[in-house]
């Protein structure tokens, strides 16, 4: 009997050791941003399976779409829901804020592990030219009031994720950090409100953008193993821009009168394509350094200790605006079809292994749209290429990008195929005035992947509907519209 108990104990230990969390080295302390700007979203239920398989315990959303949020119900995953910038003015009405909380917060009861409501997303970006300057703070106050009156304000806090451009340092030293002069009064009032209501300051920090925006930026300073050392007052030194940026904010908070306000890094990541410095090697270097840092709970020189960080982002998003740069569509730690891009140990222990992929992914037929070099009239080629890239995704073709080395024919084929795939392989999307043709031969070449798109989850699963019911509904819509 004793031997049997011993064998059972050994078996249980082996099973525990084989679990994802144990294999990763312990509980995961980072969150992820789950964006929605994909032409072909994956099944939310499958995405949640992947999150749980990898031990990811926190998710930040950019809206409150009940489809993905519904998949998070009873998952045990902590959630930050989002209210988009274009809804901020609506939230200036307390009645609307109250309705939003009723529909997207209290309706889930205790089944959704909701921790934060993000009111807007980087609303004070300089690029917005003050568009949300007057509506953000009133919206924040109304949402928090609605949460309080709904009886959940003690456990759900309203926050405003902000870009790091809301604070500055005149001499590039963290100790001189202060809020931007044009919004200093507003920011001071807002951080005091957050402090009074027990809510954190949420900031997005991107060392990649520091590198992207200035050719003079010291390359090694963007990473955690660069070895560069910048001195600040009081004998404080900085070896990476992430810490320097974070402490610039901490000093700005001190000047605003809330020195102990909790800080959460709402977004931190590195893109893998779309720019000469956006690639798998550098992304892995950044994440390895960040995760190792977080695992040590070392914090920053001015604020040591545990940090809360959300990685950006979960998947590549082919519908994102590329106004800031082509890299915007390539922030994912997973590919468009839910596969891990490179080994990553979320516990920061240095284990060299791939994360678990999204299960149950289905693809469109294995076919590609390519340039038909036998076409007689090629005079309309320039216009068709321009159209394909404007309506599709040609961000991988740029200088220093993953498909930069293609010849002219392959460049044209890549553009045509991306449009074709994003249009669900509709045969009409592979015409281009007779300049294209469909082939079953894999068009990938010279290390450049010509992807086959996934079967969009929108056609397989609708909220509250089975696949068959969703299909019937789609037919009905086509008949009666």
Helix (H, G, I), strand (E, B) or coil at 162: strand
Q: What secondary structure letter does DSSP report for 277?
A: T
Residue spans of beta strands (DSSP E) within 133-236 = 157-159, 162-163, 167-168, 178-179, 201-204, 230-231
Annotated active-site residue 267? The verdict is yes
Q: Choosing from 29, 89, 103, 122, which is the catalytic residue?
A: 122
Which tokens is 451 given?
A: 């992807």
Rg of the chain over CA atoms, in angstroms? 24
Annotated active-site residue 29? The verdict is no
Residues 6 or more apart in contact with residue 329 via CB below 8 angstroms: 273, 274, 316, 317, 318, 319, 320, 322, 393, 395
- Quick one: angle between helices 94-104 and 136-149, nearest 10? 60
DSSP string, 209-228: HHHHH-TTS-GGGGSTT---
State phi, psi for 247 to the nearest 5 degrees. Answer: -75, -25
Rounded Cα distance between 194 and 304, Å, is: 21
Q: Choosing from 29, 103, 220, 267, which is the catalytic residue?
A: 267
Say if residues 429 and 39 touch (Cβ distance below 8 Å): no
Rounded Cα distance between 138 and 144, Å, is: 10
Which tokens is 326 given?
A: 């082509």
> Can you name the residues that pair with 448 across neighbouring β-strands?
445
C-alpha closest to that of 97 among 78, 68, 75, 120: 120
The 157-159 sheet, strands edge to edge: 157-159, 114-119, 78-83, 58-61, 30-34, 308-311, 263-268, 201-204, 162-163
Rounded Cα distance between 358 and 361, Å, is: 7
Rounded Cα distance between 338 and 34, Å, is: 12
**First-to-last C-alpha distance (Å) of the chain:** 71
Which residues are the active-site residues? 122, 267
């Amino acid at each position: 009997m004793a031997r049997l108990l011993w064998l059972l104990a050994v078996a249980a230990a082996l099973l525990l050791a084989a679990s994802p969390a144990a294999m990763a080295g312990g509980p995961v302390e980072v969150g992820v941003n789950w964006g929605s700007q994909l032409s072909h979203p994956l099944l939310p239920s499958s995405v949640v399976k992947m999150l749980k398989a990898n031990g990811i315990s926190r998710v930040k959303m950019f809206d409150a779409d009940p489809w993905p949020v519904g998949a998070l119900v009873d998952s045990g995953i902590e959630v930050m829901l989002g209210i988009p910038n274009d809804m901020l003015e609506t939230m200036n009405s307390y009645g609307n804020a109250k309705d939003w909380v009723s529909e997207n917060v209290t309706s889930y009861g205790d089944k959704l592990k909701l921790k934060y409501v993000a009111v807007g997303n980087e609303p004070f970006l300089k690029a917005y030219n003050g568009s949300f300057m007057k509506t953000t703070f009133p919206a924040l106050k109304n949402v928090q009031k609605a949460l309080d009156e709904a009886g959940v304000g003690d456990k759900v806090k309203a926050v405003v994720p902000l870009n790091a451009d809301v604070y500055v340092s005149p001499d590039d030293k963290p100790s001189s950090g202060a809020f931007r002069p044009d919004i200093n009064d507003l920011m001071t009032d807002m951080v005091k409100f957050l402090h009074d209501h027990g809510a954190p300051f949420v900031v997005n920090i991107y060392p990649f953008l520091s590198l992207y925006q200035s050719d003079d930026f010291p390359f090694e300073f963007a990473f955690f193993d660069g070895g560069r050392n910048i001195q600040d007052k009081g004998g404080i030194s900085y070896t990476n821009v992430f810490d320097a940026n974070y402490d610039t904010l901490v000093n700005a908070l001190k000047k605003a009168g809330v020195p102990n306000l909790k800080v959460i890094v709402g977004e931190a990541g590195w893109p893998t394509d779309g720019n000469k410095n956006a690639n798998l090697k550098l992304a892995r270097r950044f994440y390895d350094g960040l995760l190792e840092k977080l695992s040590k709970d070392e914090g920053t020189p001015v604020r040591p200790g545990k940090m809360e960080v959300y990685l950006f982002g979960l998947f590549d998003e082919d519908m994102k605006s590329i106004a800031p740069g082509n890299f915007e569509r390539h922030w994912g730690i997973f590919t468009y079809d839910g596969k891990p891009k490179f080994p990553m140990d979320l516990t920061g222990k240095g284990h060299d292994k791939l994360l678990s992929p999204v299960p149950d992914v289905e693809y469109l037929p294995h076919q590609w749209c390519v340039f038909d070099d036998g076409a007689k009239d090629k005079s309309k080629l320039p216009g068709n290429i321009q159209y394909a890239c404007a309506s599709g995704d040609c961000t991988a073709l740029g200088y220093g990008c993953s498909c930069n080395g293609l010849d002219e024919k392959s460049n044209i084929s890549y553009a045509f195929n991306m449009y074709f795939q994003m249009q669900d392989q509709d045969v009409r999307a592979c015409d281009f005035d007779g300049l294209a043709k469909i082939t079953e031969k894999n068009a990938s070449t010279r290390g450049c992947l010509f992807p086959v798109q996934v079967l969009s989850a929108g056609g397989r699963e609708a909220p509250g509907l089975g696949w068959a019911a969703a299909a019937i509904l789609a037919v009905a819509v086509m008949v009666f519209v």
